[in-house]
A and B are shown apart, each in its own frame.
Chain A
Amino acid sequence: MLKNTPKIKLRGLFKIFGADDKSVLPHVQNGMSKEELLEKHKHVLGLQSIDVNMQAGEITVVMGLSGSGKSTLIRHLNRLIEPTSGEIVVDGEDVTQLSQADLRTLRQEKMSMVFQKFALLPHRTVQQNAAMSLDVRGMDKETQDTEARKWLERVGLGGYEDHYPSQLSGGMQQRVGIARALTANTDIMLMDEAFSALDPLIRTDMQDLLLELQLELKKTIIFITHDLDEALKLADHLVILKDGAVVQQGEPQGILLNPADPYIEDFVSDINRARVLRIRSITNPLKSKKFAGDVEADDNLESLIALSEGDTALTYRVMSDGEPIGELNMRDLVKALVPRISSTQAA
C-alpha cells in the first residue's frame, strides 16, 4: 500500500481531566504516573504522548481495555473533547486551531461518527435519522431523501424507511447509525465501539458489512474496540492503548507475532491464532521443489490445517495473485499457533 502523507496525524497528544489541566501537564511530561497524578494533584490522566498516523483509505483500529483512553482518543479527532496539548492534523490542517464555526464545518463535512449506543433520534423515522447530517447542513428535502434512501438500501434496510428506531432490533439500529454516517459522505468515519453493544452473531454480520462497504468506498475509518478478535479482523493498522499511552502499533499480524511487551503477550494469548493469522505472515522463502499443493497467501491458517488434514510433514507453495511468493511448512504453522514460541521464532 502506498504510504503518502497520513490523512490524520496525532502528534504529542496529551489529555488530562481536571480543573487546571495545563498546570499539571509538565508533571506528566516528566513521567509522573496516572496514580501519582490522581493522588497528588487530583487530576485524571486521559491520554499521554500519543503519536499515531492514520492513512487514507485504511481502517485504523484503536484497541484497549476499559479506561485505557480509547474513547477519549477518538473524541479528540473531532474535538468533542479538547486536548490539553498536542496537535491533531487532519488533511494538513490542525484541528486544535479551528474556530467553533470551522469546527462545525469540519464535523459536518469531513468526519462522521457511529456510536456504541446508536444515539439515534427516537422521534424521527429511520429515513430522517439517516438524513440527519444533510439536514444539519441545510440541504433540500429531495436530496436528503434520495441520499438517505440510497444508503439505507446499501446497509440492507430498504423498506424500513418509515419505521421508528425503537421498532428495530439493535443490529438494525446500528445499521441506521452506519447509514447516517455514510449519508454524510465524509472521507473519515469515526466508529466508537460501534459493534460492542450487539450480540456476537450480529456483530460478525456487521463486521462483514463494514469490510464489504470499505472495499468499495475506501474511507478512512477509525474504529475503537475492546475486542481483539474484532480488532484483528478489521484492522489495517492496529494501535494498542494502555493507561492512555500507545503500547504498540503496527500491522496486526506483526503485533500478533511480535508482541512488544508482556501486556500485549497476555492480550494476544487468548486469540484463536489459526483463524486470525494469515499464511502470508509466516511464509518462508522458497527452498523446496516438491509441494503438497498451492495455497493463497491471504487465507488464514485454519483453512490450511483443514486442507492438510493435520499432516505436519507437508510443505505448501504460497501463491499471491497467481505468483509463488514462498513456501510454508506445516511444522512452522503449528509453531506459529503457540504464542511464546512464535514470538521468538519470527523475531
Chain B
Amino acid sequence: MATYDWFFNALGLRDWCDAGTSEAPMSMADLLAETGNAVEEPFYAIPFPSLDALNKACGQITQTRDIVKGLEEGFLAIRPALRTILDPITQPLSWMLDGTLYLFTQTPWFLIMAMLLLVTWYATRSVSVMLFNAFCLSFFAFVDHFEPAMETLAVILVCTVISAIFGIPIGIAMSKSNRLQRMVIPVLDLLQTLPTFVYLIPLIFLFPIGESRLYGIAITLYAIVPIIRLTDLGIRLVDQDVIEAGNAFGMNARQKLSKVELPLALPNIMAGLNQTIMMSLAMVVIASMVTAPGLGVLVLRGIRNLELGVGLMAGICIVLLAVMLDRTSKAALSRIDRAKSKTS
C-alpha cells in the first residue's frame, strides 16, 4: 500500500493509474522490500510526495530515474548538432594550447627562464619582483618540477589571452548597453557560483577526452568572468567630465573609446586581468581531472594514491607559481598607475 493512494482515489484517477502500471525493472529498494523482511514503518515516516513516492501509488507518474535518463538522452541527442558547431570554433584553442605547451616544454630551460625573466622586466621594471621570479623558477628546476610548472604556466598563458580577447570586448559592449549588462550579469554570476566540477560534466560529453580544448574551455569559462566585470566597471567609472570634453571636441564613438575610455579604464582592466590569471591557476589544478597537464596532475596523484609527499611538493610549487603570477601582474598594474599620474 503506498502512502499517496488516497490522493489518486479521491481524484477518481484509480483506473487511469492502474492502466499504466509499468513493467519497468524494480529498483533496489523495491527488491529489498519484496524479499520479505520489510520493517513495519513508524507512522511519521511519511515520504515526501516525490516522483518515486507518487509512482508507487500511481503507475502513470514517471520515476525520477526516467527523468535523469531523459536528461542524458536529450543531451546526447543534441550532442551531434552542438559538436558540428563547436568543433570548428574551438579547434584553434586546441592548436594554441598544444603549440604553447610544446614551446614551453621543448625549449631548453635556460632559454625559457631567460625569456620569462625578460618579460617580467618589461612588464614590471622592478628588480625585486624579477629576483623573486628567478628564485621561484630556479626552485622549480632544482626540485625537478620545472616541466610541469611550465605546462601549468603555458595553459594559464593561453587561457588568460583567450579570456582577454573575448572578455574585454564583451565588457566594453556591456558598458555601452544597460540591457546587455542586465542580460550578461546573471550569466557571469552563474559561471562564478557554479562549482567548478559541474562545468566539467557537459564538457566531457561535448569534447573527446584527451583533446586540450576540453580543459581550455573549462578554464576560460571560469577565468573570463573578472575581466568582463572589471572592463565593464572600469569604463562605466571613467570621469564623465572627460567624456564630455571628448564629445565637446567632436570625438566619434571609436575615438572616445580608444583615446579616452580605454586608457582611463586601464587600471581596472589590469586588475581584472590579474584576477583572471589567478582564477586560471585555480582552475588548471582542478582541470587536471580532465587531462590538463602540469602541477595539478601531481596533486591529483597525491590524492588518488595517498602519496602525501608528491602532493605537498606540487602544492608548494603551485603556491610559488601563484605568488609569482600575482606579484608580477600587480607590479605591472602599479606601473601603469604610476605612469598615469606621473608624480616624479
Contact = CB atoms under 8 A, between A and B. Distances in A.
A53 B142 CA distance: 81
A136 B255 contact: yes
Contact of A123 (B250, B252, B264, B343): B264
**Which of B241, B249, B252, B255 has the most chain A CB atoms closer than 10 A to its own CB?**
B249
A119 B247 CA distance: 11
A80 B242 CA distance: 13
B340 interface: yes
A119 B250 contact: no
Interface in A82-108: 103-108
A122 B247 contact: no
Interface string A118-160: 1111110000000011011100000000000000000000000
A80 B260 contact: no
B300 interface: no
A166 B338 CA distance: 11
A296 B98 CA distance: 87
A135 B341 CA distance: 22
A164 B263 CA distance: 14
Given A121-B263, A136-B251, A166 B343 contact: yes
Contacts of B250: 103-109, 133, 136-137
A73 B342 CA distance: 36
A44 B115 CA distance: 62
B45 interface: no
Interface in B249-270: 249-252, 255, 259-260, 263-264, 266
A234 interface: no
A107 to B, nearest CB: 4
Given A104-B252, A108-B249, A133-B249, A122 B244 contact: no
A238 B71 CA distance: 76
B10 interface: no
A113 B341 contact: no
Contacts of A120: 242, 245
B201 interface: no
B248 interface: yes
Given A108-B250, A121-B260, A121-B263, A115 B342 contact: no
Interface in B219-252: 239, 241-242, 244-245, 247-252
B68 interface: no
B339 interface: yes
Contacts of A136: 249-251, 255, 259
Contacts of B251: 104, 136
A107 B245 CA distance: 11
Contacts of B341: 122, 164, 166
Contacts of B242: 119-122
Contacts of B343: 166-167
Nearest to B339: A123
Contacts of A119: 239, 241-242, 244-245
Interface of B: 239, 241-242, 244-245, 247-252, 255, 259-260, 263-264, 266, 339-343
Given A80-B248, A121-B264, 9 more contacts: A108-B250, A109-B250, A113-B249, A119-B239, A119-B241, A121-B242, A123-B263, A164-B342, A166-B343
Interface of A: 78, 80, 103-109, 111-113, 115, 117-123, 132-133, 135-137, 164, 166-167, 180, 184, 190
13 contacts: A78-B248, A104-B251, A109-B250, A113-B248, A113-B249, A121-B242, A121-B260, A121-B263, A123-B264, A123-B340, A135-B259, A164-B342, A184-B249
3 cross-chain pairs, A with B, having the tightest CB-CB distances, nearest first: A108-B250, A107-B250, A119-B245
